[in-house]
């Protein structure tokens, strides 16, 4: 492992790669800070830029963007009470009241230090866990992979749906349908192409991500421009107050950070769960653990209440890389986008990535940590300036997002059809968003669709067309049983809430 860490460090610490982490963190922070735009949009917008790099550098850039965007999301939660992503909603519970009390600078500093500590601790957990999990995952066979993907899709639908499991599952099916367009990998038959040559190779992943995230988010912002509920209540962006944290606050953070980072990381590793659940759970747990006196302060600007979700949020981000890097199965929408980008580079993540491309595997882990350090060095002193970006008028923001999306597709395919298709999908996605259909399940299903079909067909071939492979191996049966448990638990929970 020491050798691996050194390989990772040598790759990550080249001038170019450090520059990439810095650029990534910077742009990620800016994009993540803009209300409505989250890490997925930030990463999607960066994809065209990464075409010019080798896989390791490209991924390092994306990791930087990811962390930057998560941090940026916290900034808008604290200053505007307008979380850019669901993962930072819990941050606004105590961060925004703090900002209203004139301690916005302090709230941002606590958030930055907690994110840093959470990220650092989880990068260490990842360092120890990923290689051993890679070895375990070598024993996985096609039926297990198929079952695991079903589990991932069910879990993301169950966890990201905000009480609308059916809608989330519909999005999963839509994602799988989009993934099945094009030439079939085994028999070379073209499917759902309507005799259109442009669809023979299937729909590009970048196109779907750009359309469902970047573009449709931009269109939604315009569409809801006059919506009174979406108008942000603003804290003064010029008077943020001191960013110094005193001794008492530090002592509180020392206790909160370790426990929240463990929760965050473990939740992040689970497929489908991710940062949102991690931050809410950590917030809830922290509230139960602290003294009665501190409990009273929750929701009114508590240091523990701000530190816990921020730590867990960032720890979960690192945790979500575990299934992506070791099993090749992304657990969240964001890692799904990263997986798509990896496949685009010709790198097949999975247990073998650890052996065949150790430099990629380790440099991603190392660059995550470097990203954390840079984020702290870069963002903490710049907070007052960065905060002003929040005042960017939408009149400029929206056309720029559309321009980045179209450019992304243009440099990839030089094809008008793809641009039309992207606009079409974006319009449909905008309407789906309007009716609260969640997008992450669609992306995850779209990315996993091809792999899932491949594993299913391979399993069926090996078992001579019999479906017995679903329960032949204990591992497969266990994973499928967990899937069924999730569905049953979800139905039970829905009914309990409804009555």
Q: Which residues bind other proteins (CB under 8 A)?
A: 48-49, 51-53, 162-167, 169, 219, 222-228, 393-396, 398-400, 402-403, 406-407, 410-411, 414-416, 419-420, 423, 427, 430, 434-436, 490-491, 494, 497-498
Give 348 or 413: the residue with its C-beta nearer to other proteins: 413
Output the smallest distance, CB 416 to other proteins, in A.
6
Give 190 or 407: the residue with its C-beta nearer to other proteins: 407
Query: Nearest Cα to 393, choosing from 238, 232, 229?
Result: 232
Q: Are 256 and 308 in contact (CB under 8 A)?
A: yes
Give 129 or 411: the residue with its C-beta nearer to other proteins: 411
Output the smallest distance, CB 160 to other proteins, in A.
14
Question: Could you give the CA distance from residue 450 to residue 197 in angstroms, rounded to a whole number?
Answer: 20
Q: Are 51 and 346 in contact (CB under 8 A)?
A: no
Question: Which two tokens mark 141?
Answer: 């066979």
How is 391-456 classified by DSSP, letter by letter? G--HHHHHHHHHHHHHHHHHHHH--HHHHHHHHHHHHHHHHHHHTT--SHHHHHHHHHHHHHHHHH
Give 393 or 465: the residue with its C-beta nearer to other proteins: 393
Question: Which two tokens mark 466?
Answer: 């019999």
In 10 A of CB 311, how many CB atoms?
A: 35
Question: Could you give the CA distance from residue 448 to residue 429 in angstroms, rounded to a whole number?
Answer: 19
Output the smallest distance, CB 19 to other proteins, in A.
12
Query: Nearest Cα to 279, choosing from 63, 77, 33, 91?
Result: 91
Output the smallest distance, CB 398 to other proteins, in A.
6
Give 167 or 252: the residue with its C-beta nearer to other proteins: 167
Question: Could you give the CA distance from residue 209 to residue 54 in angstroms, rounded to a whole number?
Answer: 21
Question: Which two tokens mark 473?
Answer: 């191996």
Output the smallest distance, CB 158 to other proteins, in A.
10
Q: What are the angstrom distances between the C-alpha of 4 and each of 1, 123, 213, 366?
A: 5, 14, 35, 10
**190, β-bridge pairs:** 183
Give 312 or 421: the residue with its C-beta nearer to other proteins: 421
Q: Are 68 and 375 in contact (CB under 8 A)?
A: yes
Give 163 or 258: the residue with its C-beta nearer to other proteins: 163
Output the smallest distance, CB 34 to other proteins, in A.
15
Distance in Å from the first CA to the final CA of the chain: 53
Q: Which residues fall within 8 angstroms of residue 252, CB to CB, at 6 or more apart?
A: 294, 303, 304, 307
In 10 A of CB 278, how many CB atoms?
A: 32
Output the smallest distance, CB 103 to other proteins, in A.
34
Give 34 or 235: the residue with its C-beta nearer to other proteins: 34
Give 45 or 70: the residue with its C-beta nearer to other proteins: 45
Output the smallest distance, CB 299 to other proteins, in A.
22
How crowded is the C-beta side of 387, counted as CA atoms within 13 Å?
A: 24
Output the smallest distance, CB 395 to other proteins, in A.
4
Q: Which helix (H) or strand (E) holds 55?
A: helix 55-80
Q: Which residues fall within 8 angstroms of residue 190, CB to CB, at 6 or more apart?
A: 182, 183, 184, 199, 200
How crowded is the C-beta side of 242, counted as CA atoms within 13 Å?
A: 3
Give 326 or 483: the residue with its C-beta nearer to other proteins: 483
Q: What are φ and ψ of residue 82, in 5° steps? A: -125, 80
Output the smallest distance, CB 402 to other proteins, in A.
6
Output the smallest distance, CB 98 to other proteins, in A.
29
Give 144 or 418: the residue with its C-beta nearer to other proteins: 418
Question: Could you give the CA distance from residue 94 to residue 110 in angstroms, rounded to a whole number?
Answer: 11
């Amino acid at each position: 492992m020491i050798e691996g860490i050194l390989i990772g460090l040598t790759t990550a610490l080249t001038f170019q790669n450090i520059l990439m982490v810095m650029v990534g963190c910077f742009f990620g922070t800016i994009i993540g800070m803009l209300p409505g735009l989250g890490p997925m949009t930030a990463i999607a917008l960066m994809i065209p830029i990464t075409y010019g790099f080798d896989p390791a550098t490209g991924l390092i850039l994306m990791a930087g963007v990811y962390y930057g965007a998560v941090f940026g999301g916290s900034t808008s939660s604290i200053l505007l009470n307008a979380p850019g992503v669901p993962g930072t909603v819990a941050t606004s519970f105590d961060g925004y009241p703090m900002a209203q009390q004139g301690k916005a600078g302090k709230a941002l500093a606590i958030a930055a230090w907690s994110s840093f500590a959470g990220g650092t601790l989880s990068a260490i957990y990842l360092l120890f866990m990923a290689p051993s999990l890679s070895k375990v995952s070598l024993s996985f066979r096609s039926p297990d992979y198929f079952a695991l993907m079903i589990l991932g899709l069910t879990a993301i639908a169950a966890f990201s749906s905000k009480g609308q499991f059916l809608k989330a599952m519909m999005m999963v099916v839509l994602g799988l349908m989009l993934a099945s367009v094009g030439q079939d990998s085994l028999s070379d038959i073209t499917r759902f192409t309507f005799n259109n040559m442009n669809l023979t190779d299937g729909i590009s992943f970048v196109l779907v991500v750009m359309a469902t995230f970047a573009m449709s988010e931009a269109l939604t912002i315009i569409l809801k421009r006059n919506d009174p509920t979406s108008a942000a209540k603003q804290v003064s962006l010029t008077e943020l107050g001191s960013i110094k944290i005193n001794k008492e606050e530090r002592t509180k953070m020392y206790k909160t950070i370790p426990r929240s980072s463990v929760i965050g990381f473990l939740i992040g590793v689970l497929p489908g769960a991710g940062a949102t659940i991690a931050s809410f759970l950590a917030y809830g747990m922290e509230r139960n653990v602290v003294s009665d006196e501190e409990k009273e302060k929750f929701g009114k600007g508590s240091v523990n209440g701000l530190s816990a979700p921020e730590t867990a949020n960032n720890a979960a981000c690192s945790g979500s890389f575990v299934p992506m890097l070791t099993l090749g199965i992304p657990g969240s929408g964001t890692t799904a986008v990263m997986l798509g980008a990896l496949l685009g580079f010709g790198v097949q993540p999975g247990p073998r990535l650890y052996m065949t491309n150790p430099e990629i595997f380790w440099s991603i882990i190392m660059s995550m940590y470097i990203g954390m350090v840079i984020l702290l060095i870069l963002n903490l002193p710049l907070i007052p300036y960065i905060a002003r970006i929040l005042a960017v008028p939408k009149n400029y923001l929206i056309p720029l997002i559309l321009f980045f999306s179209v450019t992304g597709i243009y440099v990839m395919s030089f094809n008008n059809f793809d641009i039309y298709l992207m606009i079409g999908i974006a319009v449909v996605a905008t309407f789906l968003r309007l009716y609260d259909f969640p997008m992450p399940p669609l992306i995850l299903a779209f990315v996993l669709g091809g792999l899932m079909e491949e594993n299913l067909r391979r399993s069926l071939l090996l078992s001579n067309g019999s479906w017995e492979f679903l329960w032949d191996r204990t591992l497969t049966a266990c994973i499928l049983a967990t899937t069924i448990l999730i569905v049953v638990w979800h139905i039970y929970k829905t009914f309990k809430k409804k009555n």
